[in-house]
Amino acid sequence: MAINNRKPQSLNEALRIRHDCEVIPYMGGTDVMVERDPKASFLFLGDLPELQQLTRDAEGWHLGSGLTFSSLLAEEDCPDLLREAVSRIASPAIRNLGTIGGNICNASPAGDTLPVLLLYDTDLVLKSLKGERRVSLDAFIVSRKHIDLRSDELLVDIIMKPKAYNHFYYEKIGSRRAMSISKIAMAAAAEIQKGTVADFAISFASMYKTPLRFKDLEETVKGKSLDSLEAMKQDVVHAYGERLNPISDLRSTADYRKGVSLKLIGDFIDTILETFGQG
Amino acid sequence: MRSMSISRPVKRKDFDEKISGRAKFVDDYQSPDYYHACILRSERPHARIVSINIPEIPEDTWVARGRDVPVQNRVLVDIPDQFILNDVEVEYVGEAILIVVAKTKAKARRFMEQISVEYEDLPTCFDVTESDTILHDCRFVKGDPDKVFNEAHEVFEEVLTTGFQEHAYLEPQGIVAEYRDGYMTVCGAMQCPFYIHNAIKHAFGFDDDHVRVIQATVGGGFGGKEDYPSVVGLQAALASYVSGKPVKLVFDRQEDIISTTKRHAARMIYKTALDEEGNILAMDVNVTLDGGAYLGISTTVIERSLVHCLGPYVVDHVRAYGCVKKTNQVVTGAFRGFGDPQTIFAVDTHLAHIARHLGRDHVEYRRSYLAQQGDRTATDGLYRDPVFIREMADKVLEQSDYYAKREAYSKDTGRYRRGIGIGFLGRGCGFAGFAERDFVKGVVRIRKHADDTVEALVSSTDMGQGIHTSFCKVIAETLEIPLSQVSCPRPDTQRVPNSGPTNASRSMQIVGRMLQRAALRLKDEWIPGKEQVIEEHYREERDAVNPWNTKTFNGDGFATYGWSTTVTEVELDTVTSEVRLVNIWGVFDIGRIIDRNLVEGQMHGGLVQGYGYASMEKMEIENGVIMQDRLNNYIIPTAYDIGGIHVDFVDNPYEAGPFGAKGAAELPFCGVASSYVNAVENVTQRVYLSIPLTPEKIFESLQEEV
């Protein structure tokens, strides 16, 4: 059934089409156009106001999956770390079209928003005519370009949970300074209270077929004093080194990815010590 | 002071049509009569084609094969070595096997996808150091290098390498061809209409009058539309010849990248004989270029590499050998600089490394070997015109505040550390030796219409560089008439004489000079209201001092030389090994400037393209397959990647050029790589022998202790 030219006027209509037809849902189209399948049918979701809200409640931030990167940047309530990651995406033209929902569902190993969303234990609300279910981002991204989205479902809501982080770190290393797919992206955040590491989180993109976060390694740092953090810095870096086993591809090498990631972790810890340490 | 006013910028002749979107690039040519072609390409790097299984061909669809070419299924540019279509033994991934023609591109593609090819794989070679097939080689000796090397105190040796480079012109290749009533007309993206004209005559056996080649508006060339459009033109022509329909053949970006020519990757061994004081006595240079699967035009590329193996430096005793080796990879061809960016990078970097090895200041050391008027070139020609490269060095060092910055940056200790580097170059303008006189034999025509407007009729193409505007300026200035009265149409071989190809930084120096001479004659013979045509032919205006000898590679390689020096200021992120380009300065000697605005545009573009070549434009070919095959993974610099660009010139009018102009287009490109590497070395205190110098290589170097 050819539905390429249909533009649903409501989320319900979109869900109906999604239920009835085999379609690839898209919003800005910045990813699907790159490797477009001439035989596929597409469902355009970019015009649905229901998917373009950013709200905040006790659960956290609710990001409509249809929020474009540009509109996220314009939202006062957009979390700073997400804003930082989004501001480094591609170019203004692509940011005007690309959406956060698209970035998640494309499930690229280099997805720019994914490391930040992981730091906020993000949940996703998937809706179909039958109802809705909620999965963690971590579980949703199964593998490279492979997501846990059923053929009648649409991603509607992205919930970033509240965090008390008071220290942030973000690095995107691309092949150039704009219009670039990352070789390494690292998002990190910490909560430091009274000289103690109350929370500590690091995540990566472009290192593996899915974005990475190692919660067990983070636990080894939590509750430690800043002095202990300083003392254990090399051990933390080393522990990450044991776990990071990046790929070599046409963009970069495994050695570079691993070596630089470990330097970034060290640098992240240094920035914590500089900001909150005695001195 | 008329001669200086020529440099004042004017509005480009193509400004309105381009800014309004009216300009028609080849893909803008539309007609309900058009058919579309798709090319089935080899998936194997070297294989015999055992069989091709073609399903029943539907109505209104055609399949063109090499055997359909009426005279010779070969592409003639320099030598007829490549096939138009090859269904016998393919030599690289992407080589064209056959063409499908149908009413739409989608129909042609759908039918093409049903065709299957059975291959029998043959031995492959992907590495020039393992290749035993020399496609072409050349050598020369100056002085007595054998004796000097024997007596040397020390020999400093390095192996330097450079990578492939993609032209990344904005507009991919494309041609529309129409064969009707025995006449073949092709129109499209090209730098050299008469190359295609000649190639079609050769393959189809048509005479001059039965082939017509028209240039469409072209969106960038950089050499990529010098030799390769002859391949596309022949393929489109054959598709039309077989189908009897007008056929459009336009590549998408991926097809363009995998099948069209690249800059030659190079491996260069430099050995330098030094005396006790560290003075350079002699050099031994060995250059190997990766030719890919066919020689194509690489003969002249390697010759150019070799002639420029000393860059701007003077050494009395030289032994040089260069070869193009065959690999089962995409064919390498013309690209801005044409073989000398490789050796200019190598020699300039090598000299800086010698200075470092000796514990000497690399700027002063290199400066002391820079050529001066009256010095001898690598091939024992004479630098007969004034040479200002030392003054240019002083100028760029001052403008960039080089020494103060180098001193200040040496104390940088934070995460971000700056460095500054410099490079020098000199290179011949136009073709080598007597090629203009003996082979090109260029002709130009100026036609004055009855309304006293004047048309420049030349085969030189404007591909965005603005040469047609500059030609008009030369004519208007000479005739002392308003610029609006002069035009220069896009070439159509039926209307314009063959003034030679658009390459080698020759257009203004050679074709512009002929136009100036024609305009001077017209001025003398001017009769208001009368139609007049003036034709001028190329002639040597100065006798060579030491005439070029093609066999011994001895003598004046070029009529004159262009010079430049480039300072690059960078900032290294010591955590990520990324390098940011903070500033780049270039001082150029291009004779006298014909339009400051256009020339600055070329200098800016060349510096940016050179920066890409030096730093980020990585093309890896694995088992014959190009890994970076799109513009989202073949990385060229964006405006965001470029810091300040500062361009300046010395005025050094060339006596045999129009208003003193000489070659300009390639100069800015060729000097960036050594300057950039020098700047990174200044920060890291490591030595680099290879470009592109990526963050991965820098990171690796920083793992080692100094």
Q: How many CB pairs under 8 A join A and B?
A: 59
How many Cα neighbours within 13 Å face the side chain of B21? 0
Task: With both helix axes pointing from N to C terminus, report the angle between B467-479 and B513-525 in degrees, rounded to the nearest 10.
Answer: 30
Say whether B448 sits in a helix, a strand or coil. strand
Cβ–Cβ gap B641/A34 under 8 Å: no
What proportion of chain B, given as a percentage, has pLDDT over 70? 99
Would the pLDDT of A3 be above 60? no
Query: What is the Cα–Cα distance from B11 to B16, expressed in whole angstroms?
Result: 9
Q: Is B299 helix (H, G, I), strand (E, B) or coil?
A: helix
β partners of residue B83: B74
**Nearest-by-Cβ selection for B641 from A171, A176, A256:** A176
Please indicate if any CB of chain A lies within 8 Å of the CB of B577. Answer: yes
In tens, the pLDDT along B222-272 reads: 999 999 999 999 999 999 999 999 999 999 999 999 999 999 999 999 999
Q: Inter-chain contact B576–A260, Cβ cutoff 8 Å?
A: yes
- 3-state DSSP call for residue A140? helix
Element (DSSP H or E) covering residue A199: strand A196-205
State which amino acid sits at residue A163.
K
DSSP single-letter state for residue A130: T
- What is the average pLDDT value for chain B, to the nearest integer? 97
| pLDDT of B554 over the 80 cut | yes
- Nearest residue of A to residue B612, measured between CA atoms: A176
Q: Which residues contact B257 (CB under 8 A, 6 or more apart)?
A: B166, B626, B628, B629, B630, B634
Q: Is A259 in contact with B703 (Cβ distance < 8 A)?
A: yes
A37 Cβ under 8 Å from any chain B Cβ: no
Is residue B179 over pLDDT 60? yes
Q: Is the Cβ pair B638, A178 closer than 8 Å?
A: yes
From the CA of B27, how many Å to the nearest CA of chain A? 20
Residue numbers of B between 603 and 662 with CB closer than 8 Å to A: 616, 620, 627-628, 632-633, 635-641
Do residue A260 and residue B699 have CB atoms under 8 angstroms apart?
yes
Identify the three-state secondary structure at position B411. Answer: coil
Judge whether B28 is closer than 8 Å to chain A, CB to CB.
no
**Residues B199, B235 contacting (CB under 8 angstroms):** no
Cβ-Cβ contacts under 8 Å for B351 (sequence gap 6 or more) = B280, B313, B362, B365, B366, B369
A39 touches chain B (CB under 8 A): no
- Minimum Cα–Cα distance from B703: chain A residue: A259
Best of A37, A91, A108, A177 to mutate (most B CBs within 10 Å, chain B): A177
* DSSP at B588: E
Q: Please give the structure tokens belonging to residue B410.
A: 């040496």
How many whole angstroms separate alpha carbon B111 and alpha carbon B60?
12
- For the cut 70, the answer to whether the pLDDT of residue A2 exceeds it is no
Q: Which domains does chain B have, with CATH numbers?
A: 2-23+435-537 (3.30.365.10), 31-120+168-259 (3.30.365.10), 266-432+554-703 (3.30.365.10)
Q: What is the pLDDT of residue A5?
A: 64
Exposure of B480 by Cβ count < 10 A (0-12 exposed, 13-18 middle, 19+ buried)?
A: exposed
Q: Is the peptide bond before A79 cis (omega within 30 degrees of 0)?
A: no
B214 strand-pairing partners: B187, B492
Calculate mean pLDDT across residues B292-321: 98
Name the β-bridge partners of B280: B274
Q: Are strands B89-90 and B454-457 parallel, antiparallel or unpaired?
A: unpaired
Which tens digits make up the pLDDT trace of B602-636? 999 999 999 999 999 999 999 999 999 999 999 99
The reply to whether residue B641 touches residue A255, judged by beta carbons under 8 angstroms, is: no
Q: Which of A176, A177, A264 sits opposite B575 (nearest CB)?
A: A264
3-class state of residue B119 by DSSP: strand
Q: Give Cβ neighbours of residue B263 (< 8 Å, ≥ 6 apart).
A: B164, B165, B166, B332, B335, B337, B341, B613
Q: Which of chain A's residues have a Cβ under 8 Å away from the Cβ of B105?
A: none
| A185 and B CB contact within 8 Å | no
Whether pLDDT at B568 is above 90: yes
Q: Which of A91, A180, A256 sits opposite B695 (nearest CB)?
A: A256
B-chain residues near A251 (CB < 8 A): 633
Torsion of CA B343, B347, B350, B354, to 10 degrees: 160
Distance CA B599, CA B593 (A): 7
Question: What pLDDT is attached to residue A279?
Answer: 53
Query: Tell me, what's the pLDDT at A33?
Result: 85
Start-to-end CA span in chain A (Å): 68
pLDDT for B1 beyond 50: no
Contact A250 B703 (CB under 8 A): no
Whole-number Å distance between alpha carbons of B292 and B332: 6
Contact at CB, A255 and B628, closer than 8 angstroms: no
Q: Which helix (H) or strand (E) holds A6?
A: none
- Structure confidence at residue B2 (pLDDT): 46
Q: Check CB contact under 8 Å for A176 and B628.
A: no
Are B197 and B274 in contact by the 8 Å Cβ rule? The answer is no
Cβ distance A250 to B580 less than 8 Å, yes or no, reads no
**Token pair belonging to B693:** 């110098």
Chain B contact set for A38 (CB, 8 A):
106
**A17 pLDDT above the threshold of 50:** yes
Distance from the Cα of B688 to chain A's closest Cα (Å) equals: 17
Picking from A170, A186, A256, A270 by the largest number of B CB atoms within 10 A of its own CB, the best residue to mutate is: A256
Contact B576 A264 (CB under 8 A): yes
Looking at residue B633, its pLDDT comes to 95
Which is nearest to B134 in space by CA: B296, B325, B286, B331?
A: B325
Question: Chain A residues with CB inside 8 Å of B415's CB?
Answer: 267
Location of structure tokens 């129409």: B178
Cβ–Cβ contact A263 with B under 8 A? yes
C-alpha B663/C-alpha B562 separation (Å) is 7
CB contact under 8 A, A175 and B616: yes
Top residue of B696, B697, B701, B702 to mutate, by most chain A CBs within 10 Å, is B696
How large is the ipTM? 0.95
Structural domains in chain A, CATH included, are 49-160 (3.30.465.10), 167-276 (3.30.390.50)
Extract the tokens encoding B319: 């032994």
Note whether A190 and A201 are within 8 A (CB): yes
The percentage of residues in chain B with a pLDDT greater than 90, rounded to a whole number, is 99
Asked if pLDDT for residue B170 goes beyond 50, the answer is: yes
Structure-token pair, residue A238: 């080393």
Angstrom distances, CA of residue B406 to CA of B345, B389, B390, B492: 21, 21, 20, 53
Where does chain A have alpha helices with state H?
Answer: 11-20, 69-74, 80-87, 92-97, 100-106, 114-119, 137-140, 215-219, 226-243, 254-276
Whose structure tokens read 């004796």? B147
Give B-chain residues touching A250 at CB under 8 angstroms.
Answer: 620, 627-628, 633
Please give the Cα distance from A35 to A144 (Å, whole number).
15
Distance CA B173, CA B568 (A): 33
Contact B594, B661 (CB under 8 A): yes
Residues 670-699 of B with CB under 8 A from A: 695-696, 699
**Could you tell me whether strands B486-487 and B454-457 are parallel, antiparallel, or unpaired per DSSP bridges?**
parallel
Which residues of chain A does B635 touch, with a Cβ-Cβ cutoff of 8 Å? 175-176, 180
Could you tell me which of B567, B593, B599, B598 has the C-alpha nearest to residue B652? B593
Q: B102 CB contacts (<8 Å, ≥6 apart)?
A: B35, B36, B38, B60, B61, B62, B108, B111
Q: What is the pLDDT of residues B35-94, one digit of tens each?
A: 999 999 999 999 999 999 999 999 999 999 999 999 999 999 999 999 999 999 999 999
Q: What is the mean pLDDT of residues A168-184?
A: 96
Q: Chain A closest CA to B422's CA: distance in Å?
A: 23
CB-based contact A136:A122 (threshold 8 Å)? yes
| Residue B126 amino acid letter | F
Residue of B575, B637, B699 with shortest CB distance to A267: B575
Cβ–Cβ under 8 Å, residues B258 and B160:
no
- Closest chain B CA to residue A268: B575
Contacts of B132 (CB under 8 A, 6+ apart): none
Q: Closest Cα of chain B to A99: distance in Å?
A: 19
In sequence order, what are the residues at sequence separation of 6 or more whose Cβ sits closer than 8 angstroms to the Cβ of residue B90? B42, B44, B46, B47, B49, B97, B119
Sign (positive or negative) of CA dihedral B494, B496, B497, B499: negative
Residues B504-526 have a mean pLDDT of 98
CB contacts, 8 Å: A173 with chain B: 576, 578, 695
* Calpha distance B207→B632 (Å, rounded): 44
Segment among A6-15, B199-208, B337-346, B398-407 with least mean pLDDT? A6-15
- What residue of A is the nearest CA neighbor of B635? A175
Q: Of B84, B166, B91, which Cα lies nearest the Cα of B327?
A: B91
pLDDT at B563: 98
Name the residue with tokens 């690039």. B25
Our measurement of the distance from residue B595's CA atom to the centroid of its chain's CA atoms, rounded to an integer in Å, reads 22
